[in-house]
Structures are given as C-alpha cells and as structure tokens.
C-alpha cells in the first residue's frame, strides 16, 4: 500500500475515534469518517491480545493487503481504521479479504462499479 494511503498521525486516529462511525464484526471493528481528500487513507491497529509481535504483524500485513486490493472499488474521501479481534487469528487471507469486502459493502463504501 502506498504511504500516502496510510493513516500515520495520532491526531487522525483520535479524530476518527471521536467523530467517526463504527461497525462491528466478529473478526474486526471498522471505524470510518469522511476526509477532505480526494483519496482514502487506511490504518490498522493491533493490540497485544492478538499475540506476540510476529502474529500481530502478520495480521496487520494481511489486512493491509486486503485493503490494497479493495482500494480501487471503494468510494473516495474516507479514512478507514480496522481493529482486528482475537477471532481473526488463524483465518486465511481470502476469508479476511471476503469478510472485509462484505462489511465495507454493507456500510456503503464499495462502489457499484465493482464486478465481483
């Protein structure tokens, strides 16, 4: 994922937490908020309940890759934060990808131009 598509600053995460909308799924929580940019930005927050650093980093990489693949089909101008839950441990990449896609579609972030 390109660096300009990543959320990096604590202020941005705090703004999304305070003002954004939140949806829950057994695998993750998604917070999202409209931004004033022409593109989306994404962030992934992993906490120590997911395990040691190797496991947390693997989950973070899988979610970032799923977001990278979904990015062209998403509506522009949103900040999206994904917080994985312990039930995501052991799930395949494609399960994570499909679940994330379904959840983003249910909240209206997937454009209708998508063909899958």
Extents of the domains making up the chain: 3-106
**3-106 in CATH: which number?**
3.30.230.10
80 Cβ neighbours under 8 A, 6+ residues apart = 30, 31, 32, 40, 41, 42, 43, 67, 104, 109
Q: How confident is the model at residue 114, as a pLDDT?
A: 45
Q: How confident is the model at residue 101, as a pLDDT?
A: 95
- Is the pTM higher than 0.95? The answer reads no
27-64 as b/e: b if 16+ CB within 10 A = bbebbbbebeeeebbbbbebeeebeeeeebeebbebbb
Q: How confident is the model at residue 102, as a pLDDT?
A: 94
Q: Mean pLDDT of all residues in the chain?
A: 91
Read off the pLDDT of residues 19-68 as tens digits, 9 standing for 90 and up: 999 999 999 999 999 998 899 999 999 999 999 999 999 999 999 999 99
Q: Where are the beta strands (DSSP E) in 1-116?
A: 21-24, 28-34, 41-44, 78-84
């Amino acid at each position: 994922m390109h660096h300009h598509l990543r959320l990096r600053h604590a202020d941005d995460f705090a703004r999304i937490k305070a003002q954004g909308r939140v949806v829950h799924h057994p695998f993750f929580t998604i917070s999202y908020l409209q931004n004033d940019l022409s593109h989306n930005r994404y962030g992934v927050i992993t906490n120590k309940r997911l395990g040691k650093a190797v496991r947390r980093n693997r989950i973070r990489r899988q979610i970032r890759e799923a977001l990278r693949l979904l990015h062209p089909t998403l509506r522009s101008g949103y900040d999206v934060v994904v917080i994985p839950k312990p039930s995501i441990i052991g799930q395949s990449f494609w399960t994570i990808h499909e679940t994330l896609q379904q959840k983003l579609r249910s909240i209206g972030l997937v454009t209708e131009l998508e063909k899958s």
